Structure 1
């Protein structure tokens, strides 16, 4: 393994991180010449790539990962081999991101709310009722503001974003009652992403916001530890949460950008033609995911209906005053140049929604 790769990976080691020592050795075993040191023309390099995500094998995340894997295998004549680890097998999103930084994992799918721990400015995308539709949100993330954030992530962490998935909004589900008005949220104990802006927004709406690992949510609902949580319709069904929570409300409180990530040191060491193939295959896999996600959402809603889930589409106008401008003001105070960052994002959302791009 070239010395530069070891140095780049080691640059992000953190004290106390248990994977730090093993990561370099794992990384060394993942890429190398296919046939040794003979110098033969047949000794083309090969890459064994670990790809982590937290959803099940019937999720749109996994289907996207499989499409990327198949495209890379075909376009490199089998030299770029992606091994997918679904369902958080290599850890949750936070752990997976730490593993990417040190090279123990090469690629992952991660929500931007998780990444605010490394890039606090990311929280501007978590502001409640920021986007009007999922198309609106995806358009903004694929525009100049999204490009700015991707550059910031790379600079701060050594991890590259290859683009954004089409996840959409996170909606409230629970086992107690239908949510029709802001008052219906009051007192519900909901699993909420461990993110300062998420926690503040849901707390402002009267929720007992409770951070929890995603893998623990089903059993926590079964045992009554929590009343519910927030997720898109696909995640709600693919994780079988509709079995233990019979109320789902399209509250659209938060839009959840999800991004496809790759370790920058690994990416940069790839030959130029392989990097270009990664970029092209990632773009095609992301477009495929968007198409699949729209179909899967419709199917998920039908499955919820068949399972007896009571769905509601509340008027969202009364919800916004509970969180505006309070949450925006709090976030502006927490972030360096927070007011300017939020103003820039709001300007971009307004420009995009009126179709002036």
Structure 2
């Protein structure tokens, strides 16, 4: 039976509504590996904020806690547009762009204040973020990941000599591997998910990470000695696929970037509150002992890394830009 005009009008309206809703519900896929709660809180904020800013036209679908793979797999998925957004350590990013390696340089930052000054400087970070554009993705923001220090299974690192011959887990980062070699240790690059059992079985003697590794990943159950040498402050970086821009209007892109920028502030505030709690939990529930160390001998050992930078003109230029900026702030 043919549709009446009223029925046809109703069907047309429904079709139009579905079309609008389809447009309105542009869904971006955001995947991430295992992370501390401050990072999860900040990533969740992005979805809430961008939905509010776009009146629901842009929504985030989450794939948390390594559901789609580890950080390397997530970067590769972002490259081809299989996911829109991810958050990974910039230590891993060194294998995609040498510029990210500057953040793995040991003892580059002497304080959280100097670290924040550089990370919030767009003249410095823009070139880093854009360095992977030809590979299909760019950086769009950063999160604090604290300072990385050594934690061990059989005794603390009190002096650089204590690292001699020790097998230390590091991220897949050339700079991190070279750092361990200069400090006398043997670097073992492996995924975060493998560290607990490797510590437990004696495959490695220790690892280096922030305090959350002791509690979130429960490494404090098998590694009881945390030496606060704070050799690196390696940020996390938020990546976005180039293909994502094609899904969004210019206003939606602006709203997404605003949501990401705001999430950075959320993460930093949550980080400061949570890191003290993580230290307390590591001490009181896991029985981890914390040690302060004299950093001078460690710094002296790694100076060849800075000399080697001269063979990498682009990285060396970025390093000089960073040190000039830090020196001008003193």
> Fold-level match, TM-score > 0.5?
yes
1:195-214 → structure 2 map (5 Å cutoff): 195-214=173-192
Larger radius of gyration: 2
SS in 2 for 1:288: helix
Encode CA deviations 1:145-190: one digit per residue, 9 max, x unaligned. 1122112233x32312221111121111110111111112222211
What residue is the counterpart of 2:321 in the other structure?
344
2:251 corresponds to 1:273: yes
Residues in 1 aligned to 2:279 and 2:18: alpha-carbon distance in whole angstroms: 57
Query: What SS does the corresponding residue of 1:319 show, helix, strand or coil?
Result: helix
Cα separation, partners in 2 of 1:38 and 1:302, compared to 1, 3 Å: closer
2:194 equivalent in structure 1: 216
1:238 aligns with 2:212: no
Instruction: Assess if the C-alpha contact under 8 Å between 1:59 and 1:234 holds in 2.
Output: no
Structure 2 match to 1:24: none
**Residue in 1 that maps onto 2:95:** 117
Deviations 1:219-244 (A, max 9, x none): 11111111111111123311111111
**Which residue, out of 30, 33, 41, partners 1:54?**
33
Q: Hey, what's the Cα distance between the residues in 1 that align with 2:205 and 2:268? A: 30
Residue 64 of structure 1, CA deviation:
1.2
Equivalence for 1:292: 270
Output the CA distance in 2 between the equivalents of 1:309 and 1:40: 57
State the match for 1:31 in structure 2. none
Identify the structure with the greater helix proportion. Answer: 2
1:100 to 71, 75, 78: 78
Shift of 1:192: 0.7
Separation (CA, whole Å) in 2 of partners of 1:340 and 1:75 = 38
Q: Is the contact between residue 124 and residue 345 of structure 1 (CA under 8 Å) also seen in structure 2?
A: no
Q: Secondary structure at the match of 2:131?
A: helix
Unaligned runs of 5+ in 2: 1-13
For 2:139, the equivalent position in structure 1 comes to 161
Give the match for residue 283 of structure 1. Answer: 261
Secondary structure, aligned partner of 1:273: helix
Contact (CA 8 Å) 1:48, 1:83: kept in 2 or not? yes
Instruction: Give yes or no for the alignment of 1:323 onto 2:306.
Output: no
Report how far residue 72 of structure 1 moved. 2.1
Tell me, in whole angstroms, the C-alpha distance in 2 between the residues paired with 1:179 and 1:42.
58
Q: Residue 310 in 1 paired to residue 264 in 2?
A: no
The Cα shift of 1:39 comes to 8.5
Q: Which runs of 5+ in 1 are unaligned?
A: 1-34
Distance 1:105 1:298, change over 3 A: same
Give deviations 1:57-112, integer Å, cap 9, x for gaps. x5322111111122223333333221222222211111111100111111000111
The residue number in structure 2 matching 1:10 is: none
Task: Work out the CA distance in 1 between the residues paired with 2:22 and 2:71.
Answer: 36
Is the CA contact (8 Å cut-off) linking 1:162 and 1:262 kept in structure 2? yes
- Deviations along 1:267-313, one digit per CA (max 9) or x if unpaired, are 24301221111011111111000000111100001011102111011
Aligned residue-pair number: 315
